[in-house]
Amino acid sequence: MKVKARLSRTKFGANVIARIMTMRPNFIVNVFIVCGLLSLSTAMSAQSDMDDRKFRFGLMAAPNLGWLRPNISELERDGLQSRVGFGYGVMMDYKFSDSPNYLLTTGFNVTSGGGGLSEPWQTVVEESDTSFTFNGANSRTYRMQYLTVPILLKMRTGDIGYMSYFGAIGFDLGFRTRARVDNDYTWLGGSALQPADENDLEAKNEINFLRLGLNVTLGAECNLTGNTNVYAGIGFHNAFTNMFNGKDINRVLKPASNGSPELDASGNVIESQLKRANPFLLSLDVGVFF
């Protein structure tokens, strides 16, 4: 009986060893696969979270839709006359703490935009020593370009798969580099001498040099390879400051009920307050960080 028991235990041990030997290759392969995936995930997380970098730089482009909001009753928004613009430039992220989730974002970009405003208008035409006065309305389309420096606090999530998501809030400081305007007249009455519409007129003397506004942007990043991340976001830009300067050339005429200038008892136009309006932009931001 003892001999049989010893033989049974020996046979059982041999079966167990044989089964382990059968499972061993698959087990080793699985261990290597798991370790490899964990190593890759750790490496990608370290790269995308910028654990070893205080600064990173990138390029951006931002098509936008802009419009103007008048702040006085004498100016009217010209229907839905928004303008498509474009921006491009460089961006920089600075990690100011040990956490990769809080960044200071700045840079500079060149951004164009604008919109339409309608106001009462009067023009005097000199013809053969005779003056002809025309009253009506002018639908003006403004096209402006600014060198803009954003200063933003960016808050972003950790990696969720290959993606991270962010929200940024701060200010845009803009310096006007160009301002042009198109005039689309609607005159009362009809005359062969009435002024024709005018396009692409210089308007720098009407537009403020500085612009300060709010910038709120939401978006997402994706790691491509190494330190290279692409991102996309939607930005809302609301200027605080008046786009018009305080010169008398920006004094608007008082409108009558039909939109043309209101006249006093002597037939002269009545000047009103200075123009006030704020530009807005809705941008689609795309770019790459290196």
Q: Which residue has the higher pLDDT, 147 or 37?
A: 147
- Average pLDDT (141-164) is 94
Residue-number span of the structural domain to which 14 is assigned: 1-48
Separation between Cα atoms, residue 91 and residue 64, nearest integer Å: 17
Per-residue pLDDT of 271-280, as tens digits, reads 999 999 999 9
Do 32 and 173 lie in one domain? The reply is: no
Whether residue 69 sits in one domain with residue 40:
no
pLDDT per residue as tens digits for the range 106-150: 999 999 999 999 999 999 988 877 888 999 999 999 999 999 999
174/280 same-domain check: yes
Give residue 287's pLDDT band: very low, low, confident or very high (50, 70, 90).
Answer: very high
Instruction: For residues 10 and 86, state if they share a domain.
Output: no
Number of structural domains (the chain) is 2
Do residue 19 and residue 144 come from a single domain?
A: no
What is the pLDDT at residue 12? Answer: 42
**What is the pTM for the complete model shown?**
0.78
56 and 44: one domain? no
Q: What is the pLDDT of residue 16?
A: 41
- The answer to whether residues 1 and 104 belong to one domain is no
pLDDT at 50: 56
**Is 275 within 8 Å of 247 (Cβ atoms)?**
no
Q: How confident is the model at residue 191 (pLDDT cuts 50, 70, 90)?
A: confident
CB 94 within 8 A of CB 50: no
Kindly tell me if the per-residue pLDDT of 31 is higher than 70.
Answer: no
Name the token pair of 192. 């062969």
DSSP helix/strand/coil, 33? helix
Quote the pLDDT of residue 51.
Answer: 56
Per residue in 223-272, pLDDT (tens digit) is: 888 889 999 999 999 999 999 999 999 999 999 988 899 999 988 999 99
- Cβ within 8 Å of residue 52, ≥6 positions away: 46
What's the pLDDT tens digit per position in 4-29?
444 444 444 445 444 444 444 444 33
CATH number for position 170 = 2.40.160
Same domain, 20 and 102: no
* Overall average pLDDT of the 30-54 stretch: 48
Q: Please tell me whether residues 26 and 82 are part of one structural domain.
A: no
Give percent above pLDDT 70 in the chain. 81
